[in-house]
Amino acid sequence: MSGTQMLLVGIALGALLGAVATWLVMRERARTQGDASAQLLRLADERHERDAARRDAAEQEREAELQRTLAPITATLAHLERSLARSEAARVEAEGALRAHLGELGRRAQSLENGTAALTSALRAPTARGRWGEVQLRRIVEAAGMLEHVDFSEQAAGARADGEKGQRPDLVVRLAGERTLVVDAKAPMDAYLDAIEEQDPSRARTRRTAHARALRHHVDQISAKAYWKALGDTPEFTVLFVPSDGVLAAALESAPDLLEHAFARDVVIASPATLMALLRTVAHTWRTESLNRDAREVLEAGRELHHRLGVFTAHLGKVGRSLDSSVAAFNEAVGSLQSRVLVTARRFEDLGLAGTAVDEIEQLTRRARTLEDGEIADLADPRRSELGRGGRAAG
């Protein structure tokens, strides 16, 4: 083999050995790098696991802290939820009760409306109005303490001022001193009810004016009857009773001079409150009259007792004087006994001829107190006694 060939072979072997060495080095380096990479991967995995564990622990700690922080809020929200539930239940119950009450109120309002309509219709009937006025009058009289057929009488018949019969006032109240007070009930309601139901103000005012005219007409009618002339000794006026304060107020609103018009015609318009005050005053006068009558009876009884006491003291004085005479006679007898009889009797005792001694008898020293003739006369005549006391006081 030539040298060239040997050189080429050597170069080839060297190249081959270099390539093998390079491959071995590269493989070792690759293995080393693989181990390092694996170690780095393990380290990275461990760090990731540690970081994940720390994150999990921190997350759990934050969650626990959040739970601790939110626990009062959660409890409050739960309490609020229960309160809202109870409030909602109460609201539903109250709403149901309110609906029931509203329904009942609606039914009552309807019933009241029907009753009001029926009452309005009844009050438009003259007979019903008159009966209503009489019932109101009776209640007021009873409430005032004026008992039926004692201090008042209903529907008393009397003669008219012109001599004709047939007047029947609704009430005649007997006053103290055998005087009487006439009360006549009137209830003009048609124009008044029309004014209440009227929606237009001008027409309602016209209805109230008509109502005032109707009440004025009743005043003129009662004035013409002149009950006070037919019933004898009685105040010279008649009470016109209107059974509702509103009825009278509506008339006075349209006719302010209505009361003066009635006074000028000897008529007094009275509402329930005014009539109650008037009848209470009458009842008070009856009570005062009864007290005065009782006081007069007590005075008469006292005078009679005083007179009888004077007669009794006169007799008692005679008894005292008789007792004094008896005491004087007794004392004289005792004196005679002591001076004339017992002296001789004691001689027997001195001689020892008597078994027991004779008791001493004392004279009476007390005398009956006698009334002077002047005192007896004073008891029999109280006026003389008062004069005597006045004279002694002046002296």
Taking only the tens place, the pLDDT of each residue in 300-337 is 888 888 888 888 888 888 888 888 888 888 888 888 88
Helices (H), 124-143: 126-143
Q: Which of 253-267, 362-376, 377-391 has the lowest mean pLDDT?
A: 377-391
Q: Which residues pair with 174 in a beta bridge?
A: 180
Instruction: Select from 387, 389, 390, 385 the least CA-distant residue to 313.
Output: 385
Look up residue 71 and give its two tokens: 């626990």
Residue 253: predicted pLDDT: 86
DSSP string, 8-35: HHHHHHHHHHHHHHHHHHHHHHHHHHHH
With both helix axes pointing from N to C terminus, report the angle between 201-225 and 190-197 in degrees, rounded to the nearest 10. Answer: 170
What span, in angstroms and rounded, lies between the C-alpha atoms of 295 and 358?
Answer: 65
Look up residue 103 and give its two tokens: 């329904």
For the ranges 46-55, 211-220, 343-352, 367-376, the one whose mean pLDDT is highest: 211-220
For the chain, which residues make up each domain, given as ranges?
Answer: 75-123, 127-270, 295-394
Look up residue 39 and give its two tokens: 């170690």
Residue 81: predicted pLDDT: 86
φ/ψ of 270, rounded to 5, equals -125, 130
What span, in angstroms and rounded, lies between the C-alpha atoms of 192 and 198?
Answer: 10
Taking only the tens place, the pLDDT of each residue in 21-42 is 777 777 777 677 666 667 777 7
Given a cut of 50, is residue 193 above it in pLDDT? yes
Residue 157: predicted pLDDT: 47
Locate tokens 């209470």: which residue? Answer: 280
User: CB burial class (10 A; 0-12, 13-18, 19+) of residue 189?
Assistant: buried
Question: Regarding predicted confidence, which is higher, 186 or 149?
Answer: 186
159's enclosing H/E stretch is strand 158-159
Given a cut of 60, is residue 394 above it in pLDDT? no
For the ranges 158-167, 187-196, 240-249, the one whose mean pLDDT is highest: 240-249
Taking only the tens place, the pLDDT of each residue in 271-302 is 888 888 888 888 888 788 778 878 888 888 88
What span, in angstroms and rounded, lies between the C-alpha atoms of 25 and 69?
Answer: 63
What span, in angstroms and rounded, lies between the C-alpha atoms of 157 and 343?
Answer: 100
Residue 125: predicted pLDDT: 61
Query: What Å distances lie between residue 150 and 27, 146, 157, 247, 289, CA to CA?
Result: 147, 7, 17, 30, 14
Given a cut of 70, is residue 1 above it in pLDDT? no
Instruction: Select from 332, 364, 360 the least CA-distant residue to 346.
Output: 360
For the ranges 98-107, 146-155, 349-358, the one whose mean pLDDT is highest: 98-107
Residue 158: predicted pLDDT: 47
Rounded to an integer, the average pLDDT of 149-163 is 46
Q: What angle do CA 166, 270, 214 make, to 5 degrees?
A: 70
Given a cut of 70, is residue 390 above it in pLDDT? no
Q: Which residues pair with 181 in a beta bridge?
A: 173
Percent of the chain with pLDDT over 70: 74
| Mean pLDDT rounded to a whole number for the chain | 75
Rounded to an integer, the average pLDDT of 251-267 is 88
Residue 152: predicted pLDDT: 53
